[in-house]
Amino acid sequence: MTACGSMGNTSTSSNDTTATTTQEGNHWAAFDGEAALAFTRQQCEFGPRVPATPAHAKCAEWLTATLAESCDTVMVQTGTVQTAKSGQLGIKNIIGIINPEASQRLLLMAHWDTRPWADNDPDPDNHNKPVMGANDGASGVAVLLQLARQLKAEGTTLGVDIVLVDVEDMGENDNEESWGLGTQYWTSHPHVAGYKPLFGILLDMVGSSNATFTREYFSMQYASGFVDLVWKNAAGSHFINAQGGAITDDHVFVNRAGIPCVDIIDMRSDSDTGFCPEWHTVHDTMDAIDPATLAEVGQTLLNVIASLEQ
């Protein structure tokens, strides 16, 4: 029962039809999945982005510079968190702001750190090796980097805040508060006083060819109307219109802080962990990433943004 958070009830309802509706009349160019794939690879080329390592520091610089190419303002929030197993750690939450003056705002989040321990690997010898996190970390960040690039190229009237959070993935089993530490820091130190977007969308593990995105339990508890909006705008068959399991992921802390937040996360009803087979193993590498899935998720976000612009 661990997770990118913890997996709870994994039962799904019987009406698992796929949501394949695409926004009609959407003014955007199609989301570029190959470009998002390249952004995923660029993160992996730093090595595992384990907090307090040189790869993590270098990737932070690259993420900041890359967001700066597309966003009006970039902020790097630094702070200190208490981890369950590794003492105190400095964090960097990297925040890209598009249209800072717009009052209608959408929050988009993904974690950019990777887990120091592949403790779900079938080979116990790998349990203390780091996870590359092509899917668990890099995929969600890559979709948001590419989204920012396309919004810059085409323009939007909506305010968009891209919050790349640190130290999501150093949690331990049966200790909910040990996950999402960068997000917990951000919710208690918002980058703008009184920050109040319309709602938020979190991306986590959005790169697998076999991904299934179901309606995650806590998202439904706190933000069911926004789950409806996202799934209505879903751009392909990976989005399954069925109740999914409960995941303690970054969105839980955002919802508790009063911002409705929807988790788009790959949940599997056919696995013991509730996640893809590569989850928290040394096999979470570029081999497991499919640009078509990245494109579907990115297109869904573009469709949602188009619907909010009206």
Residues touching Zn ion, count (CB under 5 A): 3
- For Zn ion, the closer of residues 136 and 266 by Cβ is 136
- The only residue of 113, 121, 161, 169 in contact with Zn ion, by rule CB under 5 A: 169
Question: What's the closest the beta carbon of residue 173 comes to Zn ion, in angstroms?
Answer: 13
In the DSSP assignment, the letter for residue 85 is S
Q: Is 11 exposed, middle or buried (0-12, 13-18, 19+ CB in 10 A)?
A: exposed
The first and second tokens of residue 221, run together, are 């508890």
Q: Does 250 bind Zn ion (CB under 5 A)?
A: no
Question: What's the closest the beta carbon of residue 17 comes to Zn ion, in angstroms?
Answer: 29
Selected range binding Zn ion among 16-24, 46-54, 130-138, 250-258, rule: CB under 5 A: 130-138
Which residue number places its CB atom closest to Zn ion? Answer: 4
Contact 300, 241 (CB under 8 A): no
- Report the candidate in 40, 284, 254 with the shortest Cα–Cα distance to residue 165: 254
- For Zn ion, the closer of residues 164 and 229 by Cβ is 164
- For Zn ion, the closer of residues 229 and 246 by Cβ is 246
Size of the chain, expressed as the number of residues it contains: 310
**CA of 225: how far to CAs of 51, 137, 231, 232, 304, in Å?**
35, 26, 10, 10, 13
* Cβ-based neighbour number of residue 271 at 10 Å: 13
Per-residue x/- marks for Zn ion, 133-152, CB under 5 A?
Answer: ---x----------------
Show contacts with Zn ion in window 91-110 (CB under 5 A). Answer: none
**CA of 101: how far to CAs of 73, 105, 160, 196, 261, in Å?**
11, 10, 10, 13, 22
- Report the candidate in 308, 19, 280, 298 with the shortest Cα–Cα distance to residue 126: 280
Question: What's the closest the beta carbon of residue 36 comes to Zn ion, in angstroms?
Answer: 19
Question: What's the closest the beta carbon of residue 233 comes to Zn ion, in angstroms?
Answer: 26
Place of tokens 């920012």: 148
- For Zn ion, the closer of residues 130 and 291 by Cβ is 130
Selected range binding Zn ion among 164-172, 257-265, 282-290, 300-308, rule: CB under 5 A: 164-172
- For Zn ion, the closer of residues 136 and 278 by Cβ is 136
Question: What's the closest the beta carbon of residue 162 comes to Zn ion, in angstroms?
Answer: 20
- For Zn ion, the closer of residues 49 and 105 by Cβ is 49
Q: Does 4 bind Zn ion (CB under 5 A)?
A: yes
**CA of 147: how far to CAs of 12, 109, 290, in Å?**
31, 12, 17
List interacting residues with Zn ion (CB under 5 A).
4, 136, 169
